[in-house]
Amino acid sequence: MLESARPKENVTASLLLTGPAGFIASHLAERLLADGHTVLGVDCFTDYYPRPVKERNLAGALAHPAFTFVEGDLRTMDVRPLVEQAECIVHLAAMGGLLQSWTAFEAYQGCNILATQRLLEAMRQVGGGRRIVHISTSSVYGRESSGGEARVPAPDSPYGVTKLAAEHLVQAYHRNFDVPMTILRYFSIYGPRQRPDMGYHIFIDRVLRGEGITVFGDGRQTRGNTFVGDCVDATVKAVEHGPTGDVFNIGGGETISAIGAIELIEALTGRRASIVHAPARPGEQSHALADTSKARATFGWVPRVGIRDGMAAQVAWQIAELERTASGGA
């Protein structure tokens, strides 16, 4: 399902990819390597979710001869030697998810703001035209995030606040020190390896185990979900395009409500979900559909995977994971 391209000649680069043991960057690493890039990955295996899950995410990239992995924490390690080796820094490492950000702010501040500043400062010092593709989020917009990039950011969670601060740092280094950059704001990514704290992962897991699903709010909140392969494709195109000095929304073209997603999971698994309603959680978006016309025009990118096919891929992956753990796999 994930797009993988033939190696291309003359357009390959040395890339520093942060967070490659994570959900999205593990797919991105595999795609960049398949495209012929040389990738240096750095990740510290934060305890946001279990290390064995991240080690499995990383396994595909680790098996590739053009991938080098460094275990290290961007908040404290010397990042300069890593930056020196790269033409382009593709920065995905972060504390994701907004719920924990209310109670673990220091980790969000460190991983999302300080780590970004340390990379940018190393880029400024090393120079040489090194560029950054910085990954941000629709959460910088706040409760209502539909529309284009001109929407005024009003983040409604500490997570969104730290991600917006990181964007501002990238912009400040760009304006003051000519650090070449592109910022991508991802909208709700799903698909195989989705983080275990994310909505669809939880819904599918509960349906497969025959456990109840708690739907926060009325379940009519909608998301323009983005299949991970489409988000990876957009990121690769942004890397290969070269720096734009600009910000782009990256999102799928189809919206679905929480209730609609559960009905789709029921259809795909042939099982009934038992739903309990609970009050809406603080900071959660009510509607999010990206206007992606700027990314489409600039990068020649379009999201290709619809919610039915994308959800089927995630369901198949979660079934395989459950079977693996049931048969004694780590």
Ligand X SMILES: NC(=O)c1ccc[n+]([C@@H]2O[C@H](COP(=O)([O-])OP(=O)(O)OC[C@H]3O[C@@H](n4cnc5c(N)ncnc54)[C@H](O)[C@@H]3O)[C@@H](O)[C@H]2O)c1
Interacting residues with ligand X (CB under 6 A): 19, 21-25, 42-46, 48, 54, 73-75, 92-96, 111, 115, 135, 137, 163, 186, 188-189, 195
Question: Do residues 19 and 92 touch, judged by C-beta distance below 8 A?
Answer: yes
Query: Which amino acid, one-letter code, is at 255?
Result: T
**CB-nearer residue toward ligand X: 38 or 139:** 139
**Backbone phi, psi, residue 263, to 5°:** -65, -40
Q: How far apart are CA 315 and CA 321, in angstroms?
A: 10
The order of strands in the sheet holding 222-224 is: 255-257, 222-224, 287-288
**CB-nearer residue toward ligand X: 75 or 294:** 75
Alpha helix locations (H) across 186-252?
199-209, 228-241
**CB-nearer residue toward ligand X: 43 or 230:** 43
**CB-nearer residue toward ligand X: 75 or 241:** 75
Closest contact distance (angstroms) between CB of 210 and ligand X is 26
Closest contact distance (angstroms) between CB of 111 and ligand X is 4
**CB-nearer residue toward ligand X: 44 or 305:** 44
Query: Which amino acid, one-letter code, is at 221?
Result: Q
Question: Is residue 282 classed exposed, middle or buried when 0-12, 13-18 and 19+ CB atoms within 10 A define those classes?
Answer: exposed
How do beta strands 181-186 and 38-43 pair?
unpaired
**CB-nearer residue toward ligand X: 119 or 265:** 119
Closest contact distance (angstroms) between CB of 292 and ligand X is 14
How do beta strands 88-91 and 14-18 pair?
parallel
Closest contact distance (angstroms) between CB of 99 and ligand X is 13
Q: In Å, how far are 93, 216, 292 from 35, measured between CA atoms? A: 21, 41, 24
Closest contact distance (angstroms) between CB of 17 and ligand X is 10
Query: Which amino acid, one-letter code, is at 157?
Result: S
Closest contact distance (angstroms) between CB of 115 and ligand X is 5
Query: Which amino acid, one-letter code, is at 249?
Result: N
Residue recorded with tokens 């010092």:
125
Query: Token digits for 315?
Result: 């369901």
Query: 159 catalytic, yes or no?
Result: yes
**CB-nearer residue toward ligand X: 118 or 174:** 118
Closest contact distance (angstroms) between CB of 94 and ligand X is 3
Tell me the residue nearest to ligand X as measured from the CB.
22
Can you state the angle between helices 199-209 and 258-269, rounded to 10 degrees?
40
Which residue in the list 48, 159, 190, 200 is annotated as catalytic? 159
Query: Token digits for 12?
Result: 């390959």
Question: Do residues 93 and 19 touch, judged by C-beta distance below 8 A?
Answer: yes
Question: Do residues 229 and 237 touch, judged by C-beta distance below 8 A?
Answer: no
DSSP 147: B
Q: Which residues are catalytic?
A: 159
